[in-house]
């Protein structure tokens, strides 16, 4: 059950690219322990928004607070140190390194802020969580795309984040892998808050405690899966239409 205390708060968040208002005055609050999904049509500003939260982009205006600290001007690596992990929409792994070595890179980052990290145990734990332990010595570039996405999730888990942001994580996964992924996120949510951008509405409805809908860079609606499914504005803007 989610803690009522906000772990992450965005206030008046904006990001403009010339005349394009990709994110245009978003107020957002994420309680600790929640699984939150962000949905919306293409071009709604979803990835730009989470890039602002994770520090990959600086806002044009607004503020981001994480665990009570103003992190608005902190770069991404500083936010990682504070417990924010973001798996990218475009797979961001070291293709020539082995699967295990990719995860070790994340473990090394974690070790800079946490004493007593057992590198091999932490690496194996992350690989087992996503079902890639039998591919530990395989070069990451030889993995199927769906498995590369799972490797990216393993790298995020290896950081032991307070907040794990997943951007289109089921893209390229088979139906069986998606079912395993849903079970994985539920396990992750026992120890971390999860923010999920996802086009697969079956995944969203199965996982999310609450859903935030973005359209044209603004919050169109927010509520439980049942409330969002019944919202006529959301239906007109997104649900039932091609992604």
Bridge partners of 29?
A: 9
C-alpha distances in Å from residue 92, one per residue of 128, 155, 182: 20, 10, 21
In whole angstroms, give the CA distance from residue 163 to residue 129. Answer: 17
Token code pair at residue 54: 């994770």
Q: Domains (ranges, CATH) in the chain?
A: 34-47+75-237 (3.40.50.300)
Contacts of 105 (CB under 8 A, 6+ apart): 94, 97, 155
- Tens of pLDDT, residue by residue over 19-41, are 899 999 999 999 999 999 999 99
Mapped onto helix, strand or coil, the DSSP state of residue 16 is: strand
Average pLDDT for 168-195? 92
Top pLDDT among 26 and 169 is at 26
pLDDT value, residue 1: 47
pLDDT at 66 over 80: yes
pTM (predicted TM-score): 0.90
């Amino acid at each position: 059950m989610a803690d009522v205390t906000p772990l992450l708060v965005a206030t008046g968040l904006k990001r403009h690219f010339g005349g394009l208002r990709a994110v245009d005055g978003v107020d957002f609050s994420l309680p600790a322990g929640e699984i939150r999904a962000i949905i919306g049509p293409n071009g709604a500003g979803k990835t730009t928004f989470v890039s602002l939260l994770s520090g990959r982009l600086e806002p044009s205006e607004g503020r981001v607070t994480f665990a009570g600290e103003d992190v608005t001007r902190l770069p991404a690596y500083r936010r990682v140190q504070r417990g924010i992990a973001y798996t990218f929409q475009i797979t961001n792994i070291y293709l020539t390194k082995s699967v295990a070595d990719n995860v070790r890179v994340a473990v090394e980052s974690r070790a800079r802020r946490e004493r007593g990290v057992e590198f091999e145990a932490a690496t194996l734990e992350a690989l087992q969580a996503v079902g890639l332990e039998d591919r530990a010595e395989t070069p990451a570039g030889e993995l199927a795309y769906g498995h590369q996405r799972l490797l990216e999730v393993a790298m995020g888990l290896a950081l032991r984040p307070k907040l794990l942001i997943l951007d289109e994580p089921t893209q390229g996964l088979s139906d069986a892998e998606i079912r395993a992924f849903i079970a994985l996120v539920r396990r992750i949510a026992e120890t971390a808050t999860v923010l999920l951008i996802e086009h697969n509405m079956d995944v969203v409805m199965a996982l999310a405690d609450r859903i935030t809908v973005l359209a044209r860079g603004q919050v169109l609606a927010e509520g439980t899966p049942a409330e969002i499914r019944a919202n006529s504005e959301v239906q007109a803007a997104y649900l039932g239409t091609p992604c």
